[in-house]
Amino acid sequence: MNVIIHLFNHIQLFIHSIIQLFMFLLGYDIGSSSVKASLVNAQTGEAAASAFFPKKEMEIKAHRAGWAEQSPDLWWENLKLATQEVIAQAKVAKEDIKAIGISYQMHGLVLVDKDDQLLRDAIIWCDSRAVPYGAKAFDEIGCDCCLSGLLNSPGNFTLSKLAWVKENEPALFDRIKYYMLPGDYIALRLTGEARTTVSGLSEGIAWDFSANAPARFLYDYFGFDTALIPEIAPTFGNQGNLTAAAARELGLAESTPITYRAGDQPNNALSLNVFNPGEIAATAGTSGVVYGVNGDAKFDPLSRVNSFAHVNHTEKNTHVGVLLCINGTAILNTWIKNNVAPEGISYAEMNDLAAGIPIGSDGVSITPFGNGAERVLCNEERGCSINGINFIRHGKAHLIRAAHEGIAFSFKYGMDIMNEMGIETKTIRAGHANLFLSPIFRQTLSNVTGATIELYNTDGSIGAARGAGIGAGIYKDEKEAFATLKKIAVVEPQAADIAASVEAYNKWLSYLK
C-alpha cells in the first residue's frame, strides 16, 4: 500500500510539473524611474521576457524644493508599453498567463474621486513636504502610543502626505473617495476595484499592530474618515480580475486574476526568498534599502529605521520587515555620471576608472544624502556633501570611488541601528543589479559590515510574478515558488582590506557629527 501511495504522489508531482510548464505569470514593478514587466515560466522560474519603459527615467516634478510628484497616468502608459513588449518577445498566448502580481514604489499618495478618476498627481516617496505634519502628530499623540501601535513615527509617510493635502488643498480633499498607494491605483486600473492590503496600510503608517486594524487613533487625529480606506484584500490571493477594457488595452485575457501585491521593498525581499526572521535583503537602486525580517513587532525609538508588516505577516504569525532606507544611492551615482564623469562613459567604465583609486579614495568622502529628507538621520534634509578634496591630488576617479564608498558607508550606518534592534547581519541577499554591479560598492559593504553578500539573478518584476504564483495557488508555498532561484555570485569580506575600509568609514562618519 505504501508503495502505491508513494507512486501516486510521484505521478501527481509529475502531472503538476507538466501543467506548470505551460503556465506563465506576469509581474509588474512600478518604480519612480520606470515600469518593468516580466513574464515568468511557472515551472522553470525563468523569465520568458522582460521589458521596461520609458527607456529614459520617468519625469519627477519638483514644483518646489523638497517636493516630488508623478502622474499615475504615466505609470499606466508605460505599463501598457512594457506589457505589449513582453508579450511580443515571448510569443505566449494571452490565455496561458494565469496570474498577475504587482510591486510598486512605497509610501506614495494617489487620490481618486467617486468615479475613480485621479484628482491630482501622486505625491511620491521622496517628497519631503509632509515631514512637519508627521512630526507634529508624533509629538501630540505621543511616542509611546505611536511606536507601540504603528511601530513608527507617522513621519513623512502616506497619511502625513494626506494631511498636507487636507490643509493646503481643502476643496480637492473634499472630493476624495479613496486614498491609495501606487500599487493600489494600478490594481484599480486593472480590475476596476479599489482595494488595498494590510501590508500597504502598514507601509503608509496606517496600521495599528496592537489592535490588528487600521490605526483609528491616527485617522481621528488627522480628522480623516476611515471610509477613505479602500476594501482590504489579502497580499496573496484574488484581489480582482482583469476587466474587458483593461484586457483590450494590454493585450491580455479578460478575467486574468491579480493575486499578489506588495511595496517594492517587501517585494524585493520576497524576490530573494526572504520570508523568515533573521533573513536579510538589500537593494541599491534610486534609493538604497536593507530589509530584515523580525519575528517580533519591534521598533526603533527614534524611528530612524521603520517596521512594516511583511508580505506573510498575520495576526497569529508575526513577520515584521525592518526597513533601512537611504534615499540618495544610485541617484548619486547617476548624478556623478552626468555631472562629474567623462562624457559618454558607461557605468561599467566608471567602475573600471574608480578601481585604480585606493580604498578610502585618498581622503575624499561623500555623504549621499541629497535626495530629500532621510529617515536614518531623523528626517533631516542635510544634502549631499563632498569632503576632503585636494585640488592638486584628486580627480574624477576619486569622486566616483568616494561616491560608491559613501553609499556603502551609509548602509553600514543604518545597519548598526538595525543591529541594536536585534537583527544580526551575517548574510545579505541582493539582486545582481544597480549598484550591486559595482565591485567597489559591494566589496566595501562586505568589508565594513563583515557580512557575506549573495547575489541572485532576479528583480522586482520577476519576484512579483512568483508572488502571483503563490497567490494563485500555482505554487503550494514559497519553498516551491523559489526552488529555481539561482545564486550567481558571493562576495566575502577581504581580511587584508578590512582595516583600511573601517578607517575610511570612520573618517566618513566624522562628517556626520
User: What is the secondary structure of 59-71 as a DSSP string?
Assistant: P-B-SSTT--EE-
267: which 3 cell numbers?
517585494
Q: Spell out the alpha helix ranges (H) of 126-282.
A: 131-141, 143-150, 158-168, 170-173, 182-191, 198-203, 216-222, 244-250, 264-271
Q: Kindly give, in sequence order, each residue whose CB lies less than 8 Å from that of residue 94, ignoring residues fewer than 6 positions away.
A: 87, 251, 252, 253, 256
Q: For residue range 373-405, list pLDDT tens digits in order.
A: 788 998 788 899 999 999 999 999 999 999 999
Q: For residue range 175-190, list pLDDT tens digits in order.
A: 999 999 999 999 999 9
pLDDT at position 398 = 98
Task: Give the model's confidence band at 247: pLDDT under 50 very low, under 70 low, under 90 confident, else very high.
Answer: very high
Nearest CA-CA partner of 461 in 29, 26, 48, 99: 29
CA distance linking residue 380 with residue 375, whole number of Å: 7
102 beta partners: 28, 261
Nearest CA-CA partner of 194 in 140, 248, 232: 232
69: which 3 cell numbers?
510628484
Task: Give the model's confidence band at 1: pLDDT under 50 very low, under 70 low, under 90 confident, else very high.
Answer: low
Nearest CA-CA partner of 269 in 440, 110, 106, 72: 106
Nearest CA-CA partner of 357 in 407, 408, 389, 396: 396
Nearest CA-CA partner of 457 in 426, 429, 492: 429
**At what angle are helices 143-150 and 131-141 packed, to 10 degrees?**
110
Asked whether residue 54 carries a pLDDT value surpassing 70, the answer given is yes
In the predicted model, what is the mean pLDDT of residues 158-175? 98
**Domains of the chain in sequence order:** 2-272 (3.30.420.40), 326-456+489-510 (3.30.420.40)
Nearest CA-CA partner of 26 in 12, 37, 13, 10: 37
Q: Which helix (H) or strand (E) holds 478?
A: helix 478-481
49 beta partners: 39
CA distance linking residue 361 with residue 365, whole number of Å: 7
